[in-house]
Structure 1
Amino acid sequence: MLVHELILHHTGAVSRQIALRDGGQEITFAALANEIAYAANLFLGLGMDRRDRVAVYMDKRIDTVVAMFGAAKAGGVFVPVNPLLKPEQVAHILKDCNVRILVTTPERLALLQPVLAGCHDLRCVVTVSAQATLQIAGLSCVNWAERATAPQRAAHRVIDGDMAAILYTSGSTGKPKGVVLSHRNLVAGAESVSQYLENSPEDRILSVLPLSFDYGLSQLTTAFRVGACAVLMNYLFPRDVIRAVEREKITGLAAVPPLWVQLAQLDWPAGIDEHLRYITNSGGAMPTSTLAALRAKSPRTRPYLMYGLTEAFRSTYLPPDEVDRRPDSMGKAIPNAEIMVVREDGTPCAPGEPGELVHRGVHVALGYWNDPEKTAERYKPAPGQPAGLPIAEMAVWSGDTVKMDDEGFLYFIGRRDEMIKTSGYRVSPTEVEEVIYATELVTEVAAVGVAHPVLGQAVVLVIYSLGKDGSVSEKLMAECQRQLPAFMVPARIVSRDEALPRNPNGKIDRKKLAGELAEMFEENPS
């Protein structure tokens, strides 16, 4: 199955069900299939060749989904661009993966106009608007409405191993990299997730995460796989999310830890768990205190704690029945994947021994676009293959340190590029942050390593609290000294008057925090 066929394969009663809701608008699976065909004809009429990249730079709306899946149906590759990105960041993506067609709004196009001259592969801009189409020198500019009258054309031949999408990572180290996903990757991911979440056509899944984020895109593909309804949402405040869950009778809600922390501090409507069947977390460890608060607010809602990486979609999940026994576990491998914990030489770690998480299976992406060096660093032969196998199977070596217990459950220790190296020790930011969240004295916290002339790196806590307790830093430091070994105790606690910065995927931007702290320490090292 190809990714757009997740929509097209529904027939009978399911084809008449609502596939997408966007505010007051909604569209059935049958109508969505027709719109995708119109979009494919438009792109083909604009000269789109097989595997050409089509960037979609808009907020979350039905037309955004149509453009993405229409590009796939035509035989091209869709590149969803986070609407929060600035023109220079968008230009980097357009140039990096040689985008040929850009779908956007007139307002966003006006912002991009100064940087488009450097996007030498861009040939055409499609504007989604009822207004007259802007004209830009050197580019063919057409209106989205023309898809309705575009002549029907034969799509390019595509198989499930071909490229379907390029998703750009949030760029925690250097500029964002484009992860190339095949049709098989996306479809297998949807099948796996919908299997363990037990999704059905009766589900209503709220889509709050960016579609440029693999976790956000997964909400669409999972819903489409089973004939469920995806409700699109561009939220401003966490309270808006809770209201949408109640108003739309949402059954499934996915979010990242910073959003869950905010949602756990709000009042939830009574009876919301009569329809909210499950919640999921990925993109980082959910603090145990946050999970406890969420479960208290919606007792019958089942929590699924998950771990994933864009390079291999989703890797593990913890079944809700195991949450009480091991709330700090990231679970076991998702269906049709194998997760290994290995030493540097590729040999398996013993139970309890920290090692690198390696993911093998159908979800492993095709690599980083036009970057063989970084691809070779992350995509390497899977450990333990037979010596006589002539072509090595490639796996994703995550760079994340985890450990496995005697029963095979995995526990996250830290990301390699986020581990703090202090006094000869490697400190997991998550472990320090858990202690702080458990005090319930802060709204948000991040542990960051800052260069230190003696320690190598010093552990620095950045906190944000809604309260005005001037002694909170002293209380937190005392708690750290009580619970943590000396080398893990923060050298300094920095309090902010506003929420911690986010990257475009909604995660705390540790790189930005580290830069701010480095400047602060240079000015005042004491």
Structure 2
Amino acid sequence: MTARCERWLARAAAQHPGKTAVVRGGRRVDYATLHAESERFAAALAGHAALGDGQRCVVFLENSVEAAVGVFGTLRAGGVFSVINPTTKADKLAFVLADCGATVLLTQASLLPVARSAAARAPSVRCIVVVDGDGDGMNGGVIAYRRFLAAADPGRLPLQVGIDTDLAMLVYTSGSTGNPKGVMMTHANVRFAATSITSYLQASHDDVVLSVLPLAFDYGLYQLLMCVKLGATLVLETSFAFPQKVLPLLATERVTAFPLVPTMAALIVQLRNFDPAWAASVRYLTNTAAALPPAHIRRLQDLFPAARVYSMYGMTESKRCTWLPPEELARRPDSVGIAIPGTQAWVADDAGRPLPAGEVGELVVRGGHVMQGYWNNAEATARALRPGRYPWERVLHTGDLFRTDAEGFLYFVGRKDDILKSRGEKVSPKEVENVLYAMHGVREAALVGVPDPVLGHALKALLVVDDPGLDARAVIAHCRAHLEEFMVPRTVEFRESLPKTGTGKIRRSELQAEAEGREAAEA
């Protein structure tokens, strides 16, 4: 049976043992090798680390072959994996490790100081495995990857370690409270989402996917999961900061699928020397995280004339919610489409009643892709998952505002909460504000997003300070030391006061509206 996700890798290794599974830099790994190393990692987890059924392994790595091994090896051991962005700072990583009760932390030498600091605050962590560690100084709960695997015996692994209703992964996503929330997805959830998405993309084992998206981002993670499910090839890169270093891979690797976020698309369409050879083999482009401007869609179609362009909407809590058939792009370029195959999505009022076309309400989703809830957070789960139309189900209230047209196509209107999108990533204002408040001399702080054609939101910190010597450069440096790069404000504005409610809370929504209105006025 292939119901559990780790079985996808076993099947691909049996059917296509010599086929390239993952390409990273100069390294090419076939399915037989990826499977064998994942089996050995699973055996090491079960043996040396005593990782049991349902226990958690956190993968704190850049996009790499070892990250793929960490994902599938953890599943093979009967565990639950969570991939964390390698730019995450120690405080946030410590929260994640403690929150999920991680047993093992898989990382790399360049991230070891952060990993050590975080693990010291998470008593559940039994060992830190360093993929490029050489064994020297690997002590005190830290072990080199090769040494970790050396004594493992895959032959001792049971043939089956669980069923498809078991938890497969925790994907941590920013929340309006400031602390990340662990989205719980079972093997059945992952299988359903991957099957639905690959069906409308018409993806196949012949695909070669180029992904620069972090595996910590569910959009990036599913590139790996779907490739292995299909027996396709995944080409991994770690950055798109210099597009002209990455785009030639489209030609040299004969890439057929290229997943994008709007910031990537904005860089591509601005290139003056785009080589048509780069686009020759690409069959489809996908976009999510935020809607592409119609002008960017048209330019992408010019640059990739043989490629279908898929506009999509999704959220970590249900992976993908909607997709727009490419043939509809010309008619409704602003739409994010219809519910993905096998699911339903509708616009509802505050009481949960469906709304007619043209009226704005919250998007509600039902289907096998909907999460089980937030790890260790019953209150947030109850807000997101509510009783559906049938007694046995809970449906996902997305917190996002939509409308439909007369033919049922969906259009994103705005977000009900304060979450911002910058560089394709979710940013919790509260999380950034917590860091700002930790800076000496900051009395009041609010983070807003100024609309930006490349970034989505350009983050701006609004501060009231007691220290007149505090300047923008110091504030940004402080944030950069404590936050991932996409969460660092680009600008800082100092004010005498910030608007507040009667209970003393800062009116962030008012400040956000002001930021958007000011940008519109200046434009």
Q: If the TM-score is normalised by the length of the shorter chain, which range does it land in?
A: 0.7 to 0.9
Aligned pairs (5 A) from 1:167-182: 167-171=171-175, 173-182=177-186
Question: Does residue 197 of structure 2 align to residue 197 of structure 1?
Answer: no
CA distance in 2, matches of 1:16, 1:505: 41
Which of 126, 150, 153 pairs up with 2:152?
A: 150
Kindly provide the CA deviation profile for residues 189-209 of structure 1, in whole angstroms up to 9, marking residues without a partner as x. 111111111111221001211
Which residue matches 1:31?
Answer: 33
Which of 183, 189, 205 pairs up with 1:185?
A: 189
Which of 109, 113, 134 pairs up with 1:110?
A: 113
Distance 1:77 1:11, change over 3 A: closer
Distance 1:400 1:344, change over 3 A: same
Following superposition, the deviation at residue 465 of structure 1 comes to 9.0
Which residue matches 2:349?
Answer: 343
Distance 1:409 1:505, change over 3 A: farther
Percent of residue pairs identical: 34
Q: Residues 339 and 345 of structure 2 are in contact (CA less than 8 Å); yes or no, is this contact kept in structure 1?
A: yes
Unaligned runs of 5+ in 2: 430-445, 456-475, 500-510, 512-517, 519-523
Following superposition, the deviation at residue 237 of structure 1 comes to 2.0
Q: Residues 210 and 505 of structure 1 are in contact (CA less than 8 Å); yes or no, is this contact kept in structure 2?
A: no
Letter in 1 for 2:404: M
- SS of corresponding position for 2:58: strand
Following superposition, the deviation at residue 247 of structure 1 comes to 2.6
Kindly provide the CA deviation profile for residues 284-335 of structure 1, in whole angstroms up to 9, marking residues without a partner as x. 1111122122122222211000000000010100011110011000000111
Q: Residues 209 and 505 of structure 1 are in contact (CA less than 8 Å); yes or no, is this contact kept in structure 2?
A: no
Which residue matches 1:232?
Answer: 236
TM-score, length-scaled by structure 1: 0.79
Q: Residues 106 and 133 of structure 1 are in contact (CA less than 8 Å); yes or no, is this contact kept in structure 2?
A: no
Aligned pairs (5 A) from 1:104-503: 104-137=107-140, 139=141, 141-152=143-154, 153-155=156-158, 157-171=161-175, 173-235=177-239, 236-266=241-271, 267-382=273-388, 384-385=389-390, 389=391, 392-418=392-418, 461=450, 463=452
Q: Residues 107 and 130 of structure 2 are in contact (CA less than 8 Å); yes or no, is this contact kept in structure 1?
A: yes
Following superposition, the deviation at residue 353 of structure 1 comes to 1.0
Following superposition, the deviation at residue 215 of structure 1 comes to 0.6
Question: Does residue 23 of structure 2 align to residue 17 of structure 1?
Answer: no
CA distance in 2, matches of 1:141, 1:512: 37
CA distance in 2, matches of 1:198, 1:505: 38
Q: Residues 58 and 81 of structure 2 are in contact (CA less than 8 Å); yes or no, is this contact kept in structure 1?
A: yes
- Cα RMSD of the aligned pairs, angstroms, is 3.2
Letter in 1 for 2:131: V
Letter in 2 for 1:415: R
CA distance in 2, matches of 1:342, 1:505: 36
Which of 33, 40, 43 pairs up with 2:42?
A: 40
Distance 1:64 1:463, change over 3 A: closer
CA distance in 2, matches of 1:130, 1:141: 7
Q: Residues 40 and 71 of structure 1 are in contact (CA less than 8 Å); yes or no, is this contact kept in structure 2?
A: yes
Kindly provide the CA deviation profile for residues 364-386 of structure 1, in whole angstroms up to 9, marking residues without a partner as x. 1111110101111111112x32x
Q: Residues 133 and 141 of structure 1 are in contact (CA less than 8 Å); yes or no, is this contact kept in structure 2?
A: no
Letter in 1 for 2:414: G
CA distance in 2, matches of 1:313, 1:23: 28
Q: Residues 337 and 361 of structure 1 are in contact (CA less than 8 Å); yes or no, is this contact kept in structure 2?
A: yes
- SS of corresponding position for 1:93: helix
- SS of corresponding position for 2:344: strand
CA distance in 1, matches of 2:216, 2:449: 31
Which residue matches 1:482?
Answer: none
Q: Residues 258 and 507 of structure 1 are in contact (CA less than 8 Å); yes or no, is this contact kept in structure 2?
A: no
CA distance in 2, matches of 1:414, 1:93: 29
- SS of corresponding position for 1:230: strand
- SS of corresponding position for 2:29: strand
Distance 1:133 1:460, change over 3 A: closer
CA distance in 2, matches of 1:39, 1:105: 15
Q: Point out the more displaced range, 343-352 or 106-115.
A: 106-115
TM-score, length-scaled by structure 2: 0.79
CA distance in 1, matches of 2:39, 2:485: 35
Following superposition, the deviation at residue 115 of structure 1 comes to 3.6
Question: Does residue 89 of structure 2 align to residue 86 of structure 1?
Answer: yes
Following superposition, the deviation at residue 130 of structure 1 comes to 5.0
Letter in 2 for 1:20: V
Following superposition, the deviation at residue 144 of structure 1 comes to 3.4
Q: Residues 127 and 133 of structure 1 are in contact (CA less than 8 Å); yes or no, is this contact kept in structure 2?
A: no
Distance 1:197 1:56, change over 3 A: same
CA distance in 2, matches of 1:122, 1:362: 32
CA distance in 2, matches of 1:521, 1:402: 37
Q: Residues 262 and 289 of structure 2 are in contact (CA less than 8 Å); yes or no, is this contact kept in structure 1?
A: yes
Question: Does residue 6 of structure 2 align to residue 4 of structure 1?
Answer: yes
Structure 1: 4+ residue segments shifted above 3 A: 133-137, 140-146, 170-173, 459-466, 504-509, 519-526
CA distance in 1, matches of 2:74, 2:40: 10
CA distance in 2, matches of 1:186, 1:506: 27
How many residue pairs are counted as aligned between the two chains?
450
Distance 1:62 1:140, change over 3 A: closer
Kindly provide the CA deviation profile for residues 134-186 of structure 1, in whole angstroms up to 9, marking residues without a partner as x. 3454x363533432441232347311111111111144651211111111111
Which residue matches 1:439?
Answer: none
CA distance in 2, matches of 1:359, 1:315: 7
CA distance in 2, matches of 1:465, 1:77: 35
Following superposition, the deviation at residue 522 of structure 1 comes to 4.3
Q: Residues 13 and 35 of structure 2 are in contact (CA less than 8 Å); yes or no, is this contact kept in structure 1?
A: no
Letter in 2 for 1:167: V
Following superposition, the deviation at residue 255 of structure 1 comes to 1.7
